[in-house]
Chain A
């Protein structure tokens, strides 16, 4: 007779083990996996989409897909669960962005939403300018910046997420930074940020 795994045992489990439990329909294992990773996954989605509701929708959709069809995760393919999930989030966000026009994308960044109405106008302008600069980067360069700059993801893992080698990733980052510096100088962004 199989013994039931208690919460504390589940909490101590690695992602791979939790996913085995999820394949058996264990809801508690799913809840632990969601609690463990959803904030970081959301952060990546937000950096790419710029809107809280869109980022939440993407992460939720993909977690529920994993719950309904846990076989989409195949252990032993080389990638860690988090690397694989970051990859599918990134791809889903790219699909989402491609369906929108560039102007719509910038509007999508809910910088001046209701909670920020009282925010200093300069600060809002600065945020908008920065987002515009990032949106104008080529797609791969933008993804590299989003992954490497904010999420505490190592360059090695970012390269795995993007399915490229480390040198290619570093080259993308270098080109992105070069472009950003030129654009920032053109619009005097450094002056507004001080």
Chain B
């Protein structure tokens, strides 16, 4: 049987292939691209929130005014149902 030294010699001769020349730079550049993609994605989300479509803006405004109406009616303890139906009526007219 082989000695330890002989076995070590066999193992030392094990085949090895170095990494490609652009391996390290490729990791770094892919990380930079990932960061850029993340930044782009974030700005797209932000843009969609700030400048949504006109119809969506109008709907959101109506929903906001509707909710404000309910809130003020509740605090004033007036006739809630009348006020809601009035808001819905004007909302529908606007749409």
Contacts and interface: CB of A to CB of B under 8 A. Distances in A.
User: What is the size category of the interface that chain B forms with chain A?
Assistant: 20 to 34
Q: Which secondary structure dominates where chain B touches chain A?
A: helix
Given A56-B20, A64-B34, A30 B28 contact: yes
B23 A109 contact: no
A75 interface: no
Contacts, number: 94
Interface residues of A, number: 43
A73 interface: no
A130 B6 CA distance: 13
Given A43-B16, A52-B17, A60-B30, 5 more contacts: A30-B28, A31-B31, A46-B16, A127-B14, A177-B4
Interface of B: 1-2, 4, 6-7, 9-11, 13-17, 19-20, 23-24, 26-28, 30-32, 34-35
21 contacts: A27-B35, A34-B27, A34-B31, A35-B28, A42-B19, A52-B17, A52-B20, A56-B20, A56-B23, A67-B31, A110-B17, A127-B14, A134-B14, A150-B14, A150-B16, A177-B4, A177-B7, A181-B2, A184-B10, A193-B9, A193-B10
